[in-house]
Structure 1
């Protein structure tokens, strides 16, 4: 399995989903070797074996495959919509120096060994790391020959790695589509990323989409045959340490947005709805937890609307901080413009927080006890928030029923469906 991040070192939902799935696969009797660009040594390896790509000495060959790889991947301009889980300070651009270096990188017939120290981040050299990761993936496949049955690659950053491993081993490839370029950028897509996504899905033996919403995009926007694409919804993990300490120090109701402050997540609509709620009821505070390229825009809009004294920005939260935030919240809102799935509402519901989600989210397909609104309908969003903070009986009902519902959405069940895909491809299951 190839991923780009693994807890506790994560920048978004990709690492959380990878961790939940690997734990679920272990409970279904599947042994997983999880390769990451950079491992830190403190990853939970009770259910998975972590391979640190930075420790692998790869055999570099400037043959036809390697040359095509560098040509297609290495020197692509990075913009704010390309990187799926980055903070504003990590946005950067690959300059002319990278391009010139690439022109001198290989020579016909050249073969050499090299160990590449990956950063494992989403910064300026992201595309170079993506390309080198594919080369290292080929070496990992050689080193582990005979020790794996299926290759599984998570999101576009690892698709070329999966393709390289398949080319070396001949083993079937599964690619997991957690978010498409259309989710990140709307219709103004980065063509280079789209091409990587499409190439990975075309090369794969099976594509796993995290929702029917995503499956439809994969089929209609990328031209992938429907029989090749299966939906496996994400899940949520319960643990003994889920409950955070709720030290509030105030009686006001707290309404929370938690996610990247980017176009995809719809933070502007949350702000507009907040202003409408505050015109009707004053004892409510709104919290925006996260970071992203729209942060300054949102802060200015909050000031313009005159609600700064009721609006709070926490910055990026993770781990126990997320649990504490949910423990303090009375309502959770996910107003995403396009959300392939959305694990955070499940995390809120397991903390007994009633949730409001956009109809344009994959998680809406599996939830009955969540209030659903169109992301653009700020009046409906404001009405839903107002109802939950004003009518205690309604909030208690959604809290209780939501918790009961989310308890049944388990990673072990999702993993069982993924295992069935593996068995079919490996020829050990029923066809």
Structure 2
């Protein structure tokens, strides 16, 4: 089976769990004899893509504005009508509207046919929405250049690309929802992002949700038929190698870690307020917040106001060996998210031998029975749970042992088999 897959990031160039999940999914599919052509806006050349073929959209020459096929024009018009922020334009005007200053105009070799390449910056900068639409334009050309059985698009950033590829190729589309705008923004949603998500789910032939929590959001807040949405949980890759014997610890105190984007969704303020409650009673704790995000500076100031900065450490975004070091130092891992569609980092903590506390407002709590679970905003319950895991060895040891067994059974190869089965069902229904 051949799959054309669209994503926005791929390790090691990631900003969070989306890229990690994409790598895991492609690995799991490869183990089930599924060949994946994975497209990103910008490839860097050092991605570990041994089991898949990675394509950089920046390298793809597409027809110059005004030369799109009829199917692509129809798809463009669909997005223009349904997206409330993008103006109502003709396909030609829409393409011109999307053209960046850094687009490179050329001609097809040996002809005078005009084409252009978009020099994607990738990432999540101020031109994000523009690049999402440019990526969609490029996707139609990629779909016309390759043979495949099905299209798979990850998160709203790639949904327009998936729809354009579907229209250009006539092949079925699966969209994979790793987070919704309600998770990221609460009730203060960006309507342009919401509408992009909704149109992607409506046009898809099947929707994959990373948890039952997310599935219910898709059904009730995006009004997608329940039969069209399937839950397939994320997994975690096995440790690359056995952890090195622990050396001298950085801190003599019990260490509690938070690993994730420092944004509203992840509940960083609750973690800091919990730390303050514990430290008022017991100075034998250190707290680490590993991550970056729009609330980072506000959280540093919040810790200072609570007078806990001497026991609180902000590391910025970590990955690789630096992240492994934080986990090796941790006695407790906490994920206090307000709304977390899944959450791979608790699985990584369990894999590293750290007992975890997770929010009841998370998808990962559906697959982790041996974790302490609290409401993300309940700082009293969170403080009690942290103290219990840090001070009572029997409880900590039991959770480490049993949660490790759970995580060992949650493998990408197994989830890849579930996704392949879903592909087969979608293709069979599409043909019939």
Structure-2-length-normalised TM-score: 0.88
CA distance in 1 between counterparts of 2:258 and 2:336 reads 8
Any residues of structure 2 matched to 1:181-196 within 5 Å, and which?
Answer: 181-196=181-196
Q: Is the 8 A contact 1:4 1:157 kept in 2?
A: yes
Partner Cα separation in structure 2 for residue 242 and residue 422 of structure 1: 35
CA distance in 2, matches of 1:361, 1:246: 34
Note the alpha carbon deviations across 1:99-122, whole angstroms, 9 max, x for none: 9x73999xxxxx841111111111
CA displacement at 1:61 relative to structure 2:
4.4
Normalised by the length of structure 1, the TM-score is 0.89
- Please report how far the alpha carbon of residue 45 of structure 1 lies from its aligned counterpart in structure 2 after TM superposition: 2.1
Query: Are 2:121 and 1:126 equivalent residues in the alignment?
Result: no
Provide the residue aligned with 1:59 in structure 2: 63
Q: How does 1:319-398 map to 2 (within 5 A)?
A: 319-398=320-399
Q: Spell out the pairing of 1:13-412 with structure 2 (5 A cutoff).
A: 13-62=17-66, 64-65=73-74, 68=77, 71=80, 102=97, 112-144=114-146, 147-241=147-241, 243=243, 247-412=248-413
Distance 2:84 2:99 in 1: 13
Report what 2:91 is aligned to: none
State the SS of the aligned residue for 1:367: coil
Q: Equivalents in 2 of 1:160, 1:49: separation in Å? A: 21
Q: CA shift at 1:67, angstroms?
A: 5.2
Question: What residue number does 1:90 align with?
Answer: none
Q: Which residue number corresponds to residue 103 of structure 2?
A: none
Per-residue displacement from partner, 1:250-283 (whole Å, max 9, x unpaired)? Answer: 3211000010111000001101111111122211
The C-alpha deviation readout for 1:364-403, integer Å capped at 9, x for no partner, is 1111110000111110000000111111221111111111
The count of aligned residue pairs is 402
Render the CA deviation track for 1:294-327: whole Å, top value 9, x for unaligned: 1122112211111111111101101222111111
Q: SS state of the match for residue 301, structure 2?
A: helix
For residue 341 of structure 1, report the CA deviation from its aligned partner.
Answer: 0.2
Verify the 8 A CA contact 1:271 1:302 in the aligned structure 2: yes
Distance in 2, matches of 1:408 and 1:118, equals: 38
SS at match of 1:250: coil
Q: Check conservation: 1:69, 1:131, Cα contact below 8 A.
A: no
Q: Residues 359 and 74 (structure 1 numbering): CA distance in 2 closer, same or farther, change over 3 Å?
A: closer
> Which structure 2 segments of 5+ residues have no match?
87-93, 101-112
Deviation, structure 1 residue 247: 4.8
Q: Deviations over 1:229-259 (max 9, x none)?
A: 0000000001324636655233211000010
Structure-2 change in CA distance of 1:268 and 1:426 (3 Å): same
CA contact (8 A) 1:235 1:414 kept: yes
1:85 is matched with which residue? Answer: none
Unaligned ranges ≥5, structure 1: 78-98, 106-110
Deviation at 1:202, TM superposition (A): 0.2
Instruction: Confirm or deny: 8 A CA contact 2:84 2:192 kept in the other structure.
Output: no
Is the contact made by 2:333 and 2:354 (CA closer than 8 Å) also made in structure 1? yes
Matched residue SS, 1:288: strand
Secondary structure at the counterpart of residue 314 of structure 2 = strand
